[in-house]
Amino acid sequence: DSNADDLGDGPRRYDFNRPTSISRTFEQNLQSVGESFAKTGTIDFTSLMRMTTTVEFLGLKQITFSEYLEELPNPTCGAMVTLAPLKGYSVVHIDLGLCFVFLKKLMGGTPDMEDSVREFTEIERGINAGLVGRFTEIFRKAASKFIKVDAGFVNLENNTNYLSGISDGEAMIILRFNVKVDTVEGPVELGL
- Residue 72 is given by DSSP the state S
- Residue 144 is given by DSSP the state T
Chain center to CA of 73: 14
- Residue 146 is given by DSSP the state T
User: What's the rounded Cα separation, in Å, for the pair 56 and 124?
Assistant: 25
Which range among 20-29, 65-74, 112-121, 163-172 has the greatest average pLDDT?
Answer: 65-74
- Residue 87 is given by DSSP the state -
Cβ contact 187:172 at 8 Å = no
Tell me if residue 59 falls in helix, strand or coil. Answer: strand
pTM of the prediction?
0.84
In 5-52, beta strands by DSSP E:
none
List the one residue out of 48, 14, 73, 29 whose CA is nearest residue 175: 29
Model confidence pLDDT, tens digit, residues 124-168: 899 999 999 999 999 999 999 999 999 999 999 998 888 888 888
- Residue 107 is given by DSSP the state T
Model confidence pLDDT, tens digit, residues 157-192: 998 888 888 888 888 999 999 999 888 899 999 999
